[in-house]
């Protein structure tokens, strides 16, 4: 019994999603409870009681009875109740070990859930696409059969009448229709074959292996749940009889968690569905009922109309099959290596923390490979079936000429030739387009980046090579690099592996495997001079300053006139960069598509100042698009430059109509720039102060809806903005509000400030963040309440006339600002919910958005919204 065999149906799919949602909620509840336990430093017994109470708030669902982790957790709660007045914990171990593992596990659980849903949707979408293709071919086939019948009748009619003026025209029309018919005939048969083969492989391999892979992932996560609870149990264990008795029950419950049977008991019995039911796939012979010609149902037409196309298709399929075989061989070897190591670790009686982490990681990769191999084998099987369908009649034909497609005696070879050449030009054009589509866009920001070094180019040095043109960037030692004359070079900044002023810390995020390398620009901290660095990974991170001497650029060996020629030689020769390091360059790390060239950005009008530099209106030359450009001063510290780039790194992940759109980052040289969409209305605060009095309360409320929609999206993505205010929102077309300025944002569920409170906007910040420096999305909700107040006060400063200190102290004592004049009471009540002193009971962005939408759609009759 397993997912692959028993959970192929839609009901099983829904049940798998729901039980994962239940488990995620369970883990979130466990995390909240554990935090309560850790916080028991000063009020230990009080917080321990709160721990139990929090756990009891977990709402039971029908799926909990199938979850052994939940049952074990209930035992933990019962044991904790017995130990309230006995236990004394050391929170250090819980903080550094248990909490980190649980947060990581929760993140993995959410990722696994999303991955399962996305992958299942992708597989079903592909199957539907192939089915739809068969139906489209069938409809077109039916139409063409009728057209051929009519054109043949016209041709026979004019031939019988001897009307020579119309015979050629009728014959040509008949020929054209017949060519199209023969081709759609083959296309229909091939699509039927593809669907039949795809369905068979989908049922027997792709879908079962995908589901088994998901089951394995879930079992791994359950194993990690078990490990977390074992760690919890070990850290909280004591030696008294009371402690031993209480913890014996917890230990027993945790011990009986069995990942391999977690989903195979009552859960499987209740939600098991029938395996995937194949659909009937047959050639619709009725299409040819009124057809007179050489086409035969369920048989490929191998004739003078189709011979060339079939030959090309056969060759193309053979290439694809060979490629699949090569990939399979590589993956099977990799899978075998993982299997051997997993077996070795399983045979050990006990594992260290590092070995346990290695075991989990290798099993994840092993299960991923099994799934990928199954899908690739299915894909290759379908291609093989198509290949045989085409190859068999071609082999049988041998060196003989193909038969005539039409039984008309007076068709000359030139007629057929002219018909076969009808689509030659489009085929050539499509081939050219495919080549263009495969040209790789480049960008150095391949992974997360949070900073950039303040390096400034030495123009005297750059003159040495920037006027030349190096070979194209490379992807392998034998192709795309180091071809042609070594004297034909281009500028260093045009090389795909040159990452501009990306700092050392961010470069190291990109280098993961031995042989990975790139070149970056840096600055000598002592002399402040520009220098160029080869960064590589070889048994650790390596950074080699490229030396400029009289003979040119070098490491240890020969000098070269330009840096591209030096790196070209080092890569092509396969020799070590330095004898001491032994570093070999084998895999250039290329720039990604969203990094833009500085030369492609034209700055025009200054439109404001940011935290790190000036903001301009500009033009992205390649698309002629008007953009907003944030620049970074080169006088800033390294830490400030990292924070500047973090905004771009965060923004590029989001795509929402109420979030300002990210376009790219230009970092090939100073100044570094973040490029975003240009929002014509400017800052919301300025708009409110100029136009606020002119708009109705309903329009003001719609602005609140827009902001809530954007913040609900960010909250769902795990982003804490930390600086939500009218000054950091923009107004677009039709007064749509967009969230902007992510300079203080963090991609964490909780963030603790460690660098003081200098930049904290006191009047917009939640009390818990001011007092403890801990930020959550609930803190953003507080700030959103202040934003609503700003919108309805037409841009007034919150707590008018008060200093930051007075406002902070008053809020701590329970004061809340009154509603701005004319604010509907239903909206003011939402502001008060945002300003709930208890962050845990504070309204969420999801609820805020829903309530605001409902109010805007149906304003209360008793309130004036005009």
Whether residue 732 contacts residue 680, with contact meaning beta carbons closer than 8 Å, is answered with yes
Q: Is the pLDDT of residue 6 over 50?
A: yes
Q: Which tops the pLDDT comparison, 225 or 413?
A: 225
How many distinct structural domains can be found in the chain?
Answer: 4
Whether 284 is in a domain gets the answer no
700 and 663 belong to one structural domain: no
Whether 704 is in a domain gets the answer yes
Which helix (H) or strand (E) segment is 570 a member of? helix 563-573
Whether residue 700 contacts residue 859, with contact meaning beta carbons closer than 8 Å, is answered with no
**At 688, which CATH number?**
1.10.510.10
- Tell me what pLDDT residue 659 has: 92
Q: What is the pLDDT of residues 247-278, one digit of tens each?
A: 788 788 888 888 878 787 788 888 888 888 88
The three-point CA angle 229-93-240 to 5° equals 70
- Tell me what pLDDT residue 668 has: 79
* Mean pLDDT score, 185-198: 93
561 and 471 belong to one structural domain: yes
Q: How confident is the model at residue 751 (pLDDT cuts 50, 70, 90)?
A: very low
689 and 814 belong to one structural domain: yes
Boundary residue ending a domain (655, 677, 699): 677
- Tell me what pLDDT residue 638 has: 67
Burial of 150 (0-12, 13-18, 19+ CB in 10 A): middle
Q: What is the pLDDT of residues 826-836, one digit of tens each?
A: 999 999 999 99
519 and 374 belong to one structural domain: no
Is-cis flag, bond preceding 671, omega within 30? yes
482 and 578 belong to one structural domain: yes
- Determine how many CB atoms are found less than 10 A away from the CB of residue 81: 15
654 and 755 belong to one structural domain: no
* Mean pLDDT score, 76-83: 72
Q: How confident is the model at residue 325 (pLDDT cuts 50, 70, 90)?
A: very high
Q: Three-state SS for 231? A: helix
Q: What is the pLDDT of residues 106-141, one digit of tens each?
A: 889 899 999 999 999 999 999 999 999 999 999 999
Measuring CA to CA, which residue among 29, 438, 61, 7 is closest to residue 209? 7
Q: Between the CA of residue 19 and those of 75, 110, 263, 788, what are the distances in Å? A: 20, 12, 10, 38
735 and 818 belong to one structural domain: yes
Measuring CA to CA, which residue among 3, 264, 222 is closest to residue 109? 222
- Euclidean distance between CA atoms 302 and 403, whole angstroms: 7
- Contact residues for 508 (Cβ-Cβ < 8 A; gap 6+): 535, 541
Boundary residue ending a domain (382, 401, 420): 401
- Structure tokens that stand for 37 in this block: 């336990």
653 and 693 belong to one structural domain: no
* CA distance between the termini of the chain: 64
**Percent with pLDDT over 90 in the chain:** 37
Q: Between the CA of residue 191 and those of 195, 203, 376, 381, what are the distances in Å? A: 6, 18, 19, 14
Measuring CA to CA, which residue among 778, 771, 715 is closest to residue 747? 715
SS3 content of the chain, % helix, strand, coil (to 5): 55, 10, 35
Q: Is the pLDDT of residue 77 over 60?
A: yes
657 and 689 belong to one structural domain: no
Whether residue 767 contacts residue 837, with contact meaning beta carbons closer than 8 Å, is answered with yes
- Tell me what pLDDT residue 1 has: 61
Whether 631 is in a domain gets the answer yes
* Mean pLDDT score, 655-678: 87
**At 503, which CATH number?**
3.30.505.10
Whether 336 is in a domain gets the answer yes
- Euclidean distance between CA atoms 231 and 821, whole angstroms: 56
The three-point CA angle 737-655-777 to 5° equals 70
- Tell me what pLDDT residue 490 has: 59
Q: Which domain holds residue 795?
A: 684-857
Q: Is the pLDDT of residue 384 over 90?
A: yes
Q: What is the pLDDT of residues 753-787, one digit of tens each?
A: 444 444 688 999 999 988 888 888 999 999 999 99
604 and 712 belong to one structural domain: no
Whether 852 is in a domain gets the answer yes
- Tell me what pLDDT residue 85 has: 60
Q: What is the pLDDT of residues 430-471, one digit of tens each?
A: 433 333 233 333 333 333 333 333 333 333 333 222 223 333
Residues acting as catalytic residues: 723
């Amino acid at each position: 019994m397993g997912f692959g065999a028993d959970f192929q149906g839609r009901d099983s799919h829904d049940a798998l999603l729901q039980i994962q949602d239940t488990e995620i909620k369970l883990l979130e509840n466990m995390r909240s409870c554990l935090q309560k336990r850790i916080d028991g430093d000063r009020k230990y017994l009080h917080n321990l009681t709160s721990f139990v109470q929090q756990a009891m708030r977990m709402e039971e669902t029908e799926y909990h009875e199938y979850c052994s982790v939940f049952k074990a957790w209930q035992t933990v709660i019962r044991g904790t109740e017995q130990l309230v007045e006995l236990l004394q914990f050391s929170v250090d171990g819980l903080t550094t070990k248990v909490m980190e593992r649980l947060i990581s596990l929760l993140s993995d659980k959410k990722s696994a859930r999303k991955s399962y849903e996305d992958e299942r949707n992708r597989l079903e979408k592909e199957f539907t696409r192939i089915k739809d293709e068969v139906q489209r071919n069938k409809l077109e086939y039916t139409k063409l059969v009728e057209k051929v019948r009519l054109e043949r009748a016209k041709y026979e009619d004019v031939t019988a009448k001897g009307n020579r003026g119309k015979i050629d025209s009728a014959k040509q029309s008949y020929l054209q229709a017949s060519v199209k018919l023969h081709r759609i005939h083959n296309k229909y048969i091939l699509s039927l074959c593809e669907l039949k083969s795809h369905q068979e492989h989908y049922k027997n391999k792709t879908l079962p292996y995908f589901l088994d892979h998901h089951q394995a992932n879930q079992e791994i996560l359950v194993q990690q749940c078990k490990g977390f609870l074992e760690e919890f149990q070990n850290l909280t264990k004591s030696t008294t009889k009371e402690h031993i008795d209480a913890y014996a029950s917890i230990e027993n419950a945790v011990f009986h968690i069995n990942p391999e049977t977690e989903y195979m008991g009552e859960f499987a019995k209740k939600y098991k569905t029938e395996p995937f039911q194949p659909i009937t796939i047959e050639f619709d012979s009725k299409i040819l009922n009124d057809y007179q010609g050489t086409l035969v149902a369920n048989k490929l037409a191998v004739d003078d109309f189709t011979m060339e196309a079939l030959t090309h298709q056969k060759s193309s399929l053979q290439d694809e099959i060979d490629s699949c075989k090569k990939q399979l061989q590589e993956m099977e070897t990799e899978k075998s290596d993982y299997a051997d190591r997993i077996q070795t670790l399983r045979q050990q009686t006990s594992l260290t923390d590092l070995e346990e982490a290695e075991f989990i990681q290798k099993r994840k990769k092993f299960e991923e490979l099994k799934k990928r191999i199954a899908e690739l084998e299915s894909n290759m099987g379908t291609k093989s079936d198509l290949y045989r369908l085409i190859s068999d009649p071609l082999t049988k034909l041998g060196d003989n000429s193909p038969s005539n497609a039409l039984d008309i005696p007076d068709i000359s070879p030139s007629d057929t030739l002219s018909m076969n050449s009808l689509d030659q030009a489009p085929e050539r054009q499509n081939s050219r387009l495919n080549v263009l589509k495969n040209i790789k866009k480049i960008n150095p920001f391949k992974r997360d980046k949070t900073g950039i070094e303040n390096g400034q180019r030495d123009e005297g040095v750059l003159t040495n090579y920037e006027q030349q043109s190096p070979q194209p960037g490379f992807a392998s030692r034998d192709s795309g690099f180091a071809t042609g004359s070594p004297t034909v070079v281009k500028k260093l900044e045009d090389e795909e592996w040159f990452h501009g002023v990306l700092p050392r810390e961010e470069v190291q995020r990109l280098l993961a495997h031995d042989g990975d390398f790139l070149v970056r620009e840096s600055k000598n901290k002592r002399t402040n001079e520009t220098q160029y660095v080869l960064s590589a990974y070889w048994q650790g991170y390596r950074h080699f300053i490229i030396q400029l001497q009289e003979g040119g650029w070098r490491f240890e060996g020969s000098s070269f006139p330009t840096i591209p020629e030096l790196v070209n030689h080092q890569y092509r020769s396969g020799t070590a960069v330095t004898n001491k390091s032994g570093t070999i360059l084998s895999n250039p790390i290329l720039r990604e598509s969203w990094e833009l060239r500085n030369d492609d950005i034209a700055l025009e009008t200054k439109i404001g100042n940011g935290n790190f530099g000036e903001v301009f209106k500009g033009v992205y030359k390649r698309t002629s698009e008007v953009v907003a450009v944030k620049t970074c001063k080169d006088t800033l510290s390294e830490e400030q430059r990292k924070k500047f780039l973090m905004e771009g790194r965060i923004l590029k992940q989001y795509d929402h109509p109420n979030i300002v759109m990210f376009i790219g980052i230009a970092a090939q040289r100073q100044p570094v720039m973040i490029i975003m969409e240009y929002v014509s209305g400017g800052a919301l605060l300025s708009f409110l102060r100029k136009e606020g009095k002119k708009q109705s309360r309903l329009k003001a409320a719609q602005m609140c809806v827009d902001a809530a929609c954007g913040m609900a999206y960010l909250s769902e993505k795990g982003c804490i903005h930390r600086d939500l205010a009218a000054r950091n929102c923009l107004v677009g077309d039709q007064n749509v509000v967009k969230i902007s300025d992510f300079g203080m944002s963090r991609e964490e569920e909780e963030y603790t400030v460690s660098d003081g409170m200098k930049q904290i906007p006191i009047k917009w910040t939640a009390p818990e963040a001011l007092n403890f420096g801990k930020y959550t999305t609930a803190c953003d909700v507080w700030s959103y309440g202040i934003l609503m107040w700003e919108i309805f006060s037409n841009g007034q400063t919150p707590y008018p006339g008060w200093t930051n200190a007075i406002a902070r102290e008053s809020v701590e004592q329970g004061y809340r600002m009154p509603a701005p004049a004319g604010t509907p009471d239903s909206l003011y009540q939402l502001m008060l919910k945002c300003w709930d002193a208890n962050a845990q009971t504070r309204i969420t962005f999801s609820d805020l958005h829903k309530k605001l939408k409902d109010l805007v759609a149906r304003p209360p009759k008793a309130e004036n919204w005009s």
